[in-house]
Amino acid sequence: MENSVELHTPKGTERLHGQNRIRLLSIVFCGFFLAIAVQLGQLTLIHKTPAANPELAAHETPIPRPDIIDRNGVVMATDIAVASLFADPRKITDMDEAVESLTATMPDLDSKALREKLTAPGRAFVWLKRQVSPEERDAVYNLGIPGVGYVNERKRVYPLGRLAAHTIGYVDVDTHGIAGIEKFLDDQGALYTASLSEPETSTSAPAQLAMDMRIQHAVTDEVSKAVIKYKAKSGGGIILDTETGEILALASLPDYNPNADDKRLTSDQQNKLTSGVYELGSVIKAVTFAMAFDYGTASLTSTYDTRSNLVIGNARISDFHAQRRVLTVPEVFTNSSNIGTAKMALQVGVENHVEFLRRVGLLDRLVTEVPESAKPLLPKHWSKLASATAAFGHGFAVQPLQGLSVISDLINGGMSIPPTFLKRTKEEADVLAHRVVKPETSEKMRYLFRLNVEEGTASKADVLGYRVGGKTGTAEKVIHGRYSKDKSLATFIGAFPMDHPKYAIFVMLDEPQATPETYGFATAGWNAVPTASKIIERIAPLLGVTPVFTAEDLAKLAKLAKTTKKNG
């Protein structure tokens, strides 16, 4: 009998092999569905694909801009996180449905323009809308359109709105500085201390300005009221620290809202105080007086014959407030005599006149941190007539900030200090300062400024206790190449307290109109000067200037209190 062996497979082993096959099939199916899910997620849920979109990748690590703060730490500009919507047209499966859904969710999108962007050949990345609201972001996200997503960006916001807009400036949608301090920050890249590798935790050192938003508000408010009251075309005001050159406030009206999406500014909305140049009129006479004192061709006791017009060639120079007599130097100043001032310049001589204007900084462009800076318009040829008319601010034009800065130097003791929009200490200013006129020249100018408020054309600038001084200017505007008799620029440059000037002020009203209150006059003494008085009255206490009352001041206050009580 032949031997044989019969093999038997256990039932448990069969069952084990079956389970293994089921597991293997499950893994295969799970892997398949996972791959599909990942692909769908990339198309519809994942909102960031920087590797596939170089333009998008550039927005993944934005360099944060530094906050801009005022001298007291008030935030004037800062960044916030926002979302921007994008699309990869290659991944959109139904273009018609996508365009219809997107325009229905965002009505401000133009369907034709959107379709053209999405169907342009070779496009792998297009912006749908930049810097959207959270609600808009979520609405588009929830549409679930393949290839449509969002990326987190930074948006620049200005918490104070229009206040100090011309100084702060603004940025474009990619947060590049376009104007004002914002553009300055871009040009001064050293201010950035951000880490590109960790943008979310990066910080930038705040840019601290010299401005004081309390002062800025007061100046803006009073200039705005004056523009309305005197029906002026525009207006402006500046407050400058005479010891440090710090600009505490600068308001140019009309202004604009830096938070607005559309910032196409009109010519009236430009920063007139730095980017515009004007003939400042009689305020420039202060420069001529300082020049004559410094060269020694005139003193406070000198006299000038103003009985008849000054004739130079075919030109005749006359006075608006004609006195028709011999005037002392203080009388020339307080009566704002063109004739007397022109004769002072002629005594100095054309060559010395030009040299002095260059010395004090009126012939070159004034450069500050705000990039909008206009160059002076000067006579093509400095003749005897050009010198005589320039003596009273006729025939050459400068930035208003430049005019204020120069006159501030003439009354602060004679030291030229470059103006700045950044916070600066007295010690830092002293390092930059250089002498432009003698101390005794500056002392004489302070005397004349105070006298002009006490007795002259700036009498309405007086604020009891604060010893205000200043000079008025009313200049005919050049319209179509000719001087207009009914369109003028009214200006006032002053300072306080005049015995030791700490703060200088500039007020400008463009084409102010006469009112019943001004008795038909539209000159600076009736509009720019009282506006400056209101500003000083508001800001002097904020600046810590202690009022000092003379016996005459106390008598005026008592009379005012009595009148107020009587009227109820």
Q: What is the pLDDT of residue 196?
A: 35
Regions in the chain scoring below 50 on pLDDT:
1-9, 38, 40-52, 54-61, 190-202
Distance (Å, rounded) from C-alpha 374 to C-alpha 475? 19
Can you give the pLDDT at residue 59? 45
pLDDT tens per residue across span 174-207 = 889 999 999 999 987 544 433 333 444 445 689 9
Q: What is the pLDDT of residue 35?
A: 56
pLDDT digits (tens, 9 = 90+) for 25-72: 566 555 655 555 545 444 444 344 443 454 444 444 456 789 999 999
Residue 424: its pLDDT value, please?
Answer: 97
Considering the candidates 84, 234, 252, 282, report the single residue annotated as catalytic.
282
Catalytic annotation on 337? no
Give the SS3 label for residue 78: strand
Q: What tokens were used for 79? A: 């960044």
> Residue 227 and residue 235: Cα distance in Å, rounded?
6
Cβ pair 339, 310 in contact under 8 A: yes
Strands 469-479 and 434-435: unpaired
Count CB atoms within 10 A of the CB of residue 206. Answer: 16
CA 522 distance to own-chain centroid? 28
Separation CA 314–CA 383 (nearest Å)? 13
The tokens describing 329, both together, are 């130097």
Residue 101 buriedness (CB in 10 A; 0-12 / 13-18 / 19+): middle
Residue 269: name the closest of 304, 233, 228 by CA.
233
Does residue 520 sit in helix, strand or coil?
A: coil
Q: How far apart are CA 29 and CA 38, in angstroms?
A: 14
Instruction: Indicate the helix (H) or strand (E) that contains 183.
Output: helix 180-187
d(CA 106, CA 99): 10
Report angle CA 12, 14, 16 to the nearest 5 degrees. 70
Domains located in the chain, CATH noted: 68-208 (3.90.1310.10), 214-258+268-562 (3.40.710.10)
The CA–CA distances, whole Å, from 214 to 73, 419, 467 equal 12, 20, 22
| pLDDT score recorded for residue 32 | 56
pTM of the full predicted structure? 0.84
pLDDT at 197: 35
Q: What integer pLDDT is reported at residue 204 of this predicted model?
A: 66
- Which residues of 226-348 form beta strands (DSSP E)? 234-241, 247-253, 303-305, 310-312, 315-317, 326-328
